[in-house]
């Protein structure tokens, strides 16, 4: 029987702690017989539990007592420890994550009594490098087969060839199977669809954020399709065991699908485009990678081709904490700065920008720069209401623009009211942060954009709105006079 028993009492057991908040309480010690304690250690830790191998880490510890306890006595010790800022408390079917206050009494020449009590943590920021860890875990699920083939070819292949016709036959059979898989699953769909690709405007979002993307292809010949489907999926991925006993467990926690086209026919030589928009759940779990316990979000694009191998593409997305309050206050500050600047400038601040195709009256922004505007929009990008508020505050203001062009001459004509007559709309991003933009280009700048290559375009333009479908800042460019 242990010489002492430990229990922990939290001051606020029902509180949800943010990273760095102090977890305070009392550790109670009941002593059966006189005993020496070389250290009563309190620590905050997190651990996983569920189907996967256990992962965990310690946040901080402190020693609250060292000495002798008398038999038959009860002792109490106060503690104050910081809560961890990552990962967030999560309870799923295959994976759960909990934070604890642990107490351990170090008793010489005896088992050390210990106890733990859980508390809840809400993460407010993403740890450095975590997004790349999740991305690497997503890639690993597609790497093993390739590694096996390479290892067989390098190490086993020559030995099998030297073993005679049986070994050579087996080796060639393996090569044929691998080649056949590639030919059927990769080559044939692309042969029929031409150059299919799928992409996302932004792959890092907060819960409740709007996910915008597009599938496009130009077929070599007319192709009839059963359907083009896009699926937003959240999956718990847990690995248990090791070596030959390693097992991967998967559990889908969220799934939402859209059929972009059904029973469609793609005409030869014509580019076909299908846009899609998803809204992440307000309570979407954050993307995590904790050794062999992960929560992965993906957008899976599938093209169902009758009597032909289907084409598919999986795009990883990263669900991260929102900047919440900071984003709201940032947007309010920007709006106040613009309104104040416009009021100080007065009526004389109104000027006319030299747009080709018509004059547009715009406001002076004082000292407000485009970089500051982009920074504020990037901060509130997960909150549509705040984005629209910021855009409304700067609408009509002429800025010096920098743009990394993604797709030149995206479309022309009257599809968008902001498009110049005989002009173009071009998709681009600000260099840093990578805020998506759509640039309305007058016809006289068309050749300049065609010859731009990979250089950054610089010029003047006025903010005219926000493309809510594709989550892009709309900017009407000015031709140099």
Q: What is the pLDDT of residue 303?
A: 85
Please say whether the beta carbons of 171 and 153 come within 8 A: no
What's the pTM value of the predicted model, to 2 decimals?
Answer: 0.59
**Most confident by average pLDDT, 114-118, 137-141, 409-413:** 114-118
Task: Specify the 3-state DSSP secondary structure of 334.
Answer: helix
277-299 average pLDDT score: 91
Mean pLDDT of the chain: 78
The phi and psi torsions of 389 (rounded to 5 degrees) equal -65, -45
Q: Which of 154-158, 307-311, 453-457 has the lowest mean pLDDT?
A: 154-158
Q: What is the pLDDT of residue 78?
A: 96
More confident residue, 54 or 268: 54
Task: Specify the 3-state DSSP secondary structure of 29.
Answer: strand
Task: Specify the 3-state DSSP secondary structure of 40.
Answer: strand
120-149, pLDDT tens digit by residue?
A: 999 877 765 555 555 554 444 444 444 555
- The domains of the chain are located at 4-122, 144-319, 324-477
More confident residue, 332 or 99: 99
The two tokens of residue 327 are 């984003």
Check if 144-319 and 324-477 are the same fold.
no
188-229, pLDDT tens digit by residue?
A: 666 666 778 788 888 888 888 888 888 888 877 777 888 889
Does residue 72 surpass a pLDDT of 50? yes
Chosen CATH of 4-122 out of 2.40.160.10, 2.60.40.640, 3.40.50.2300, 3.40.1160.10 = 2.60.40.640
CATH 1.10.20.10 fits 144-319, yes or no: no
Report the alpha-carbon distance of residue 181 to residue 190 in Å, rounded: 14
Please say whether the beta carbons of 214 and 273 come within 8 A: yes
Q: What is the pLDDT of residue 166?
A: 60
Q: What is the pLDDT of residue 160?
A: 56
The two tokens of residue 25 are 């309480």
Q: What is the pLDDT of residue 357?
A: 34
Report the alpha-carbon distance of residue 448 to residue 385 in Å, rounded: 35
Q: Which of 216-225, 345-354, 381-390, 458-467 has the lowest mean pLDDT?
A: 345-354
Q: What is the distance in angstroms between the CA of the first residue and the CA of the last residue of the chain?
A: 91
Q: Which of 171-185, 324-338, 389-403 has the lowest mean pLDDT?
A: 324-338
Beta-carbon contacts of residue 86 (< 8 Å; ≥ 6 apart): 19, 123, 125, 126, 127, 130
The two tokens of residue 257 are 């699908």
330-346, pLDDT tens digit by residue?
A: 334 444 444 444 344 33
Task: Specify the 3-state DSSP secondary structure of 21.
Answer: coil
Q: What is the dihedral of CA 231, 232, 234, 237, to 10 degrees?
A: 40
For 284, which DSSP code? Answer: P
324-477 — its CATH code?
A: 2.40.50
């Amino acid at each position: 029987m242990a010489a002492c028993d430990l229990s922990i009492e939290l001051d606020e057991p029902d509180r949800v702690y943010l990273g760095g908040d102090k977890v305070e309480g009392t550790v109670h010690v009941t002593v059966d017989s006189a005993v020496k304690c070389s250290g009563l250690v309190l620590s905050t830790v997190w651990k996983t539990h569920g189907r996967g191998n256990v992962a965990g880490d310690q946040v901080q510890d402190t020693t609250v007592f060292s000495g002798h306890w008398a038999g038959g006595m009860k002792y109490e010790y106060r503690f104050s420890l910081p809560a961890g800022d990552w990962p967030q408390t999560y309870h799923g079917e295959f994976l759960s994550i909990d934070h604890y206050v642990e107490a351990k009494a170090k008793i010489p020449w005896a088992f050390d009594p210990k106890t733990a009590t859980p508390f809840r943590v809400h993460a407010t920021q993403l740890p450095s490098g975590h997004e790349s860890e999740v991305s690497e875990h997503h890639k690993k699920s597609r790497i093993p087969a390739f590694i096996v083939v390479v290892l067989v070819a390098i190490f086993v292949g020559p030995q099998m060839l030297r073993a005679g016709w049986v070994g050579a036959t087996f080796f060639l059979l393996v090569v044929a199977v691998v080649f056949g898989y590639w030919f059927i699953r990769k080559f044939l769909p692309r042969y029929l669809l031409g150059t299919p690709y799928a992409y996302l405007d932004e792959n890092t979002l907060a819960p409740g954020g709007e996910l915008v993307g597009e599938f496009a292809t130009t077929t070599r010949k007319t192709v009839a399709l059963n359907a083009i489907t896009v699926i937003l999926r959240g999956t718990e991925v847990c690995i248990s065991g090791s070596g030959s006993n390693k097992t991967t467990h998967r559990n889908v926690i969220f799934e939402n699908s859209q059929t972009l086209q059904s029973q469609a026919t793609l005409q030869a030589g014509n580019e076909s485009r299908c846009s899609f928009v998803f809204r992440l759940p307000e309570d979407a779990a954050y993307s995590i990678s904790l050794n062999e316990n992960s929560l992965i979000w993906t957008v899976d694009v599938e093209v169902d081709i009758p009597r032909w191998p289907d084409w598919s593409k999986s795009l990883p997305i990263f669900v991260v904490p929102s900047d919440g309050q900071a984003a709201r206050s940032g947007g309010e500050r920007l709006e106040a700065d613009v309104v104040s600047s416009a009021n100080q400038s007065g009526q004389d601040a109104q000027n006319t920008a030299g747009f080709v195709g018509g004059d547009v009256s715009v406001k002076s922004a004082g000292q407000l720069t485009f970089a500051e505007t982009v920074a504020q929009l990037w901060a509130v990008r997960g909150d549509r209401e705040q984005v629209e508020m910021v855009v409304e505050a700067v609408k009509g203001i002429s800025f010096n623009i920098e743009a990394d062009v993604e797709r030149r001459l995206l479309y022309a004509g009257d599809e968008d009211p902001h498009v110049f007559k005989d002009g173009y709309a071009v998709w681009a991003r600000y260099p840093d942060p990578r805020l998506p933009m759509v640039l309305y280009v007058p016809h006289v700048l068309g050749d300049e954009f065609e010859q731009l290559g990979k250089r950054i375009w610089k010029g003047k333009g006025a903010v005219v709105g926000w493309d809510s479908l594709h989550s892009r800042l709309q900017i009407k460019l000015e031709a140099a006079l």
